[in-house]
Amino acid sequence: MVEPLLRVEGVSRRFGGLLAVNAVSLSAPAASITALIGPNGAGKTTLFSVISGFLKPSAGHVRYDGMDVTGEPPHRLARRGIARTFQIVQPFAGLTVRHNIAVGAHLRHRARDVALQMAEQVGREVGLGELLDRPAHTLTVAGRKRLELARALATEPKVLLLDEVLAGLNPSEIRAIVPAIRALATRGIAIVMIEHMMQAAMSLADRVFVLAEGRIIAEGSPAEVVADPEVVEAYLGHGAAARMRAAYGH
């Protein structure tokens, strides 16, 4: 088997008395979409922050392309090819959409005009073509989510960590953005996406990891995971799986 592009090994992260991420292992191969799902407060964003270097793990390792990159600062990981988006969008509020994206493009292109050109191209790709000269703070939620995606893409990543980019979008907006994400995977990027929208996640993902209270409680194909009673319980509360089975008469 080929080594997956991103491999998380036994990562834990503690905040005071709270073990937000508890010995989590997962892997994401290139050219595929890996979904990370789980209830609120499960530790998904925290795990992303550890992978992208914003938080140091209390234990465990992050391997990228066979190298141990645990604890490296975010900018170095970005240079290596790990990009992330923020669940709470973080636009450069005072800059235009184009200049926002250009910051990402500058990572691989020194020249200003090249970066601006790239920004325009990436902006169009994610459907921001009409809004390129708008200040970022005037964008709607959907626009900001796209901007997060565009900036990350502009860094030409090999691993892309998407933190709830579909949340806050309406169904037609989701339908518009889903093929774009699919296309990125086809291009060879290893995508890891945190999603609350089960349906969208399930239809996109090749493989799903379920996190609850800091632990991976299930992993497998989307079909395997939805059939797992522990997953249903984690989402719907104690006894839910049994009640559901009873209700559906299985």
Partner 1 sequence: MKAFVPIAVVVAMLATVPAFLHSNVVLNFLVVTLMIALAGQGWNILGGYGGQYSFGHAAFFGTGAYVTAILQMRYGVNAWLGFAAGIAAGAVIGAIVGGLAFRAGLRSSYFALVTLAFAEVLRILASVAPITGAGVGILLKLDLGTRSFQFQSRAIFYLVILALVAVALVIARLLERSRFGAWLIAVRENEDAAMALGVDAFAVKLGAMIISAAITAAAGCFYVQYFLFIDAGIGYGSWISIEALLTPIIGGTGTVFGALLGALVVKSLGEGAKLITGDIPGLDLMIYGAVLILVIRFAPRGLVGAVTDAYDYLRPAAQKRAVEAAHG
Ligand X SMILES: Nc1ncnc2c1ncn2[C@@H]1O[C@H](COP(=O)(O)OP(=O)(O)OP(=O)(O)O)[C@@H](O)[C@H]1O
Q: Which is nearer to Mg ion, 7 or 84 (CB)?
A: 84
| Nearest distance, CB of residue 14 and Mg ion, angstroms | 17
Report the partner that residue 15 touches, choosing among ligand X, Mg ion, partner 1, none (CB closer than 5 to 8 A by kind).
ligand X
Give least dist CB 215 to Mg ion, A: 16
Residue 73 per-residue DSSP state = -
Q: Left if phi > 0, otherwise alpha if psi is -120 to 50, otherwise beta: which for 123?
A: alpha
Order of strands across the sheet with 6-15?
18-28, 6-15, 59-64, 67-68
The b/e string for 149-158 (b: 16+ C-beta within 10 A; e otherwise) is: bbbbbbbbbb
Question: Packing angle between helix 141-154 and helix 171-186, nearest 10 degrees?
Answer: 10
CA gap 85, 8 in Å, rounded: 18
Choose between 131 and 231: whose C-beta lies nearer to Mg ion. Answer: 231
The DSSP bridge partners found for residue 216 are: 211
* Residue number, nearest CB to Mg ion: 45
* Least distance CB 15 / ligand X (angstroms): 3
Q: Residue 73's beta-bridge partner residues?
A: none
**Does 87 sit near Mg ion (CB under 5 A)?**
yes
Identity of the residue numbered 17:
G
To ligand X, the closest distance from the beta carbon of 163 in angstroms equals: 7
Residue 52 interacting partner from Mg ion, partner 1, ligand X, none (CB closer than 5 to 8 Å by kind): partner 1
Binding site for partner 1 (CB under 8 A): 52, 54, 73-76, 78-79, 83-84, 86, 90-95, 99, 102-104, 106-107, 110-112, 115, 130-131, 133-134, 151-152, 154-155
Q: Closest Cα to residue 8, out of 82, 77, 60, 57?
A: 60
Residue 52: CB minimum distance to partner 1, A: 6
Written as six digits, the tokens of 128 are 């921001």
Contacted entry of ligand X, Mg ion, partner 1, none for residue 91, CB cut-off 5 to 8 Å set by kind: partner 1
Q: Which DSSP symbol is given to 165?
A: S
Torsions phi, psi for 194 (to 5 deg)? -90, 130
Binding footprint of ligand X on the chain (CB under 6 A): 15, 18, 20, 38, 40-46, 87
State yes or no: residue 85 binds Mg ion (CB under 5 A): no
Q: How far is the CB of 33 from ligand X (least distance, A)?
A: 18
Among ligand X, Mg ion, partner 1, none, what binds residue 238 when CB lies within 5 to 8 Å by partner kind? none
